[in-house]
């Protein structure tokens, strides 16, 4: 597993505003969107391109375009949706799939309650969007889901990651695939409720307001 922490003054600034509990949802959504575009820039460094011949107003030249098969972007519902627009703005030719995952609080097993993905992902570059890599269990389940469908190249974009979650993903993935995590910061730890500390709270609630269950 490769890990990239996107260190940049603009990222640190925007992340600090996101963390602040006084930041309202509308600003939070805007900043999350902006941060994703910066993470996407790092996360797409290895996207496969091919040569294309074009004509400028001055001369013919060889340029680059994103090669097929099209990369696929997969937000994990619900909080990953807050990262989708920023990502597709940077990668407009990508296809978008969806994974809805939740954790059974008793068994701790991760259950997939929604999925909209091609059955065959072989040869596809996959980009998972999930703002918070906390315990890592959801990310491991999402990665496994993609690997079972033939994917071998997976980049996970997260606003924040906890050391515990990174260890869990690394131990699970091993050398089964080329997996990369791109995050804006690695925080201190998880608390006893599996929230990232200092973190930013519940990303879904901060993005969309609280939904009673």
| Site residues, ligand URA (CB under 6 A) | 79, 132, 134, 195-196, 199, 202-204
Smallest distance, ligand URA to C-beta of residue 96, A: 21
Smallest distance, ligand URA to C-beta of residue 162, A: 8
Contacts of 210 (CB under 8 A, 6+ apart): 202
Query: Toward ligand URA, which CB reaches closer, 79 or 185?
Result: 79
Neighbouring C-beta atoms of residue 38, cutoff 10 Å: 18
- Give how far the C-alpha of residue 12 lies from the chain's centroid of Cα atoms, to the nearest Å: 18
Report helix angle 9-19 to 25-43, nearest 10. 150
Query: Toward ligand URA, which CB reaches closer, 125 or 135?
Result: 135
Query: Toward ligand URA, which CB reaches closer, 18 or 117?
Result: 18
| R_g over Cα of the chain | 18
Query: Toward ligand URA, which CB reaches closer, 78 or 152?
Result: 78
Smallest distance, ligand URA to C-beta of residue 57, A: 49
Smallest distance, ligand URA to C-beta of residue 34, A: 19
Distance CA 195, CA 201 (A): 7
């Amino acid at each position: 597993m490769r890990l990239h922490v996107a260190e940049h003054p603009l990222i640190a600034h925007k992340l600090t505003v996101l963390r602040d509990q006084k930041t309202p949802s509308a600003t939070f959504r805007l900043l999350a969107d902006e941060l994703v575009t910066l993470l996407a820039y790092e996360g797409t460094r290895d996207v496969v391109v091919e040569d294309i011949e074009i004509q400028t107003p001055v001369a013919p030249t060889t340029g680059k375009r994103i090669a097929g098969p099209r990369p696929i972007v997969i937000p994990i519902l619900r909080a990953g949706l807050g990262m989708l627009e920023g990502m597709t703005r940077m990668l407009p030719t990508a296809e978008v799939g969806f994974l809805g995952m939740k954790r059974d609080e008793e068994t701790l097993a991760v259950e997939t309650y929604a999925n909209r993905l091609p059955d065959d992902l072989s040869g596809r570059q996959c980009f998972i969007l999930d703002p918070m890599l906390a315990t890592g269990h959801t990310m491991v389940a999402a990665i496994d889901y993609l690997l079972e469908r033939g994917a071998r190249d997976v980049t996970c974009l997260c606003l924040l990651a906890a050391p515990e979650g990174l260890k869990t993903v690394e131990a699970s993935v091993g050398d089964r695939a080329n997996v990369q995590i791109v995050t804006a910061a690695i925080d201190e730890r998880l608390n006893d409720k599996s929230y990232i500390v200092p973190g930013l709270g519940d990303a879904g609630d901060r993005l969309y307001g609280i939904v009673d269950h």
